[in-house]
Structure 1
Amino acid sequence: MVIQLETYQWIMLLVSIISTVVATIKILWARIEKNLDSSFHAMQVKLEDVATQAGQCQSDIRDLERKLYQFQIDLPHAYVARDDYIRGQTVIEAKLDALATKLENVQIKQGMRND
């Protein structure tokens, strides 16, 4: 079985095949562009969200820095340094020891008088 076609039929067949391929490529290209546009739009929305959150984070960081500086300013007024505490405690203990010695001396002197 042999199919014989005229020249114009070959041309029409070739044009049909080419137009089918071109239409298929156009449809696929349109889908690709649509997917890319939706992806870029979603990315843009996420970037805007991140930029908004970054602005909020920067204000939160500034607030924390202010609180830290205020804490550093209030720290010497509210707390005693370890060395200062030890020094003060040593002075108090020395005074208590001196007082104990004086009391012992008074007790010894009273003990001698009573004998």
Structure 2
Amino acid sequence: MIFELTMTNLISLAGLFFGALWALLKVIGGQAERRANEQFAALQASLTNLSVDMRREADAARQLETSFLKFQAELPRDYVRRDDFVHVLGTINTRLDNFALRVERVIDNRLGNVQ
């Protein structure tokens, strides 16, 4: 059982070793590439979801801005209406009070004259 190492055997063993090493590196590289592709796909899906969410947020912000601008446009009109209502109500109350005073004076004058 003597094992002879001739030059052809040595070259064949070295070729076999380097071939196995190259195949192992190729398999490891393929796995790393698959893993990187999976991560990039997950990242792409995340970015797509983020893009959709950002569009929704932008639409919501636009709607909020629109409703706020409508509120700003309606507020002065409603405030003026309210102010006018208070003014008119005050005028009506003043006129009713004046009318009540006149009626009291007339009644006092008539009762004062009768007695």
Using the size of structure 1 for normalisation, the TM-score is 0.68
Residue aligning to 1:66: 80
Which structure 2 residues correspond to residues 20-99 of structure 1 after superposition, within 5 A?
A: 20-80=34-94, 90-99=104-113
Q: Distance in 2 between the 1:98 and 1:38 partners? A: 87
Q: Aligned partner of 1:65: which letter?
A: Y
Deviation at 1:66, TM superposition (A): 1.1
Q: Distance in 1 between the 2:107 and 2:73 partners? A: 50
Alignment of 1:11 with 2:25, yes or no, is yes
18-27 or 64-73: bigger deviation: 64-73
Q: Distance in 2 between the 1:80 and 1:30 partners? A: 74
Deviation at 1:98, TM superposition (A): 2.3
**Any idea what SS the aligned residue of 2:94 has?**
coil
Q: Distance in 2 between the 1:54 and 1:67 partners? A: 20
RMSD: 2.6
72-81 or 31-40: bigger deviation: 72-81
5+ residue gaps, structure 1: 102-115
Q: Distance in 2 between the 1:68 and 1:14 partners? A: 78
Deviation at 1:79, TM superposition (A): 2.3
Q: Distance in 1 between the 2:88 and 2:103 partners? A: 23
Q: What CA deviation, in whole Å up to 9, does each residue of 1:52-98 have, x standing for no partner?
A: 11110111111111112222332332223887677556545534542
Aligned residues with identical type, % of pairs: 7
Using the size of structure 2 for normalisation, the TM-score is 0.68
Q: Distance in 2 between the 1:38 and 1:79 partners? A: 60
